[in-house]
Amino acid sequence: MDRRALLADAVRRLTDAGVASPVADAETLLAHVLRTDRNRLLLVDEVSSQQSEEYDALVARRAGREPLQHLTGTAYFRHVELAVGPGVFVPRPETEVLAGWAVDHALEIEHPVVVDLGTGSGAMAKSIAHEVPGAQVHAVELDESAHAYATRNLEGTGVDLRLGDLGAAFDDLAGTVDVIVSNPPYIPMDAWESVTAEVRDHDPALALWSGEDGLDAIRVVERRAALLLKVGGVVGVEHADIQGESAQAVFASTGHWTDVRDHPDLAGRPRFVTARLAR
């Protein structure tokens, strides 16, 4: 089969299915089947019948709105590679900015102690451990399936990974932590229709929904961060793009925090709130 014809047909099918990035996804899936990189696809002229059948099946699944990363089994986050699949939240590029904020703060401290509350696949914890070699990184995940992925992804990194509720984790670290990061669930329960099929139908519910206003988990993170951080320690928490003011209010209303401010993501949308422990 001709490589160009295969790609053209795949792009058409993915476009018709409403996939947001049909060209990139079609190329990524073909590169996955051919065990090569996207930028080397131009070197391929013909694709075998067996490879064409495998590709056709993957394109059909992507057209059915299965996440691309579930089909390849891999996600890339900052400078690390992660195993992902059904049962774990697929990390998003938007969260890379929050992870970068945590890296920058950790690099300012000698032997920093960093905690990732609700680590999911382990994306932020692995990035911080990779980019701040002197950091003591701790992470917790409640969902057993996601914890299994995190265990695989964090193997050999030195990260202290625990299975448990982020709202009750790390009592042994109380008052000793320098930096806390969290990408908790933050979608309001009534926002079902606004969530893309890839997220709504395939990401774990535990990683998505968070009460009537979407802020329940962020409130829990605020309380836990106030317990775990040193005075002057900092916390960064991701939120929905419509929660730029309300997420800040969660921290500003308690009286425990200074320097409460919001930060944009790569597209300029409100994406995460940061604060410094005052008391």
Dihedral sign for Cα atoms in the order 129, 29, 206, 197: positive
- Of 182, 151, 149, the C-alpha closest to 165 is 182
Residue 147 CB partners (closer than 8 Å, separation 6+): 141, 161, 163
Residue 118 annotated as lining a ligand binding site:
yes
214 labelled binding-site residue: no
Distances (CA, A) of 225 to 115, 135, 234, 236: 9, 18, 8, 10
Q: Does residue 155 have a known ligand-binding role?
A: no
Q: 122: annotated binding-site residue? A: yes
Token pair 């106030």 in the structure block, residue: 226
- Residue 112 marked as a ligand binder: no
Question: What are the φ/ψ torsions at residue 121 (nearest 5 degrees)?
Answer: -75, -10
87 labelled binding-site residue: no
Handedness of CA 40, 43, 44, 45 (dihedral sign): positive
The token duo for 182 is: 């969290």
- Determine whether the annotation assigns residue 186 to a binding site: yes
Burial label for 54, CB within 10 Å (0-12, 13-18, 19+), is middle
DSSP state of 41: G
**Number of residues written out for the chain:** 279
Please indicate if the annotation marks 184 as binding a ligand: yes
Binding positions for substrate are: 183-186
Binding positions are: 118-122, 141, 183-186
Binding positions for S-adenosyl-L-methionine are: 118-122, 141, 183
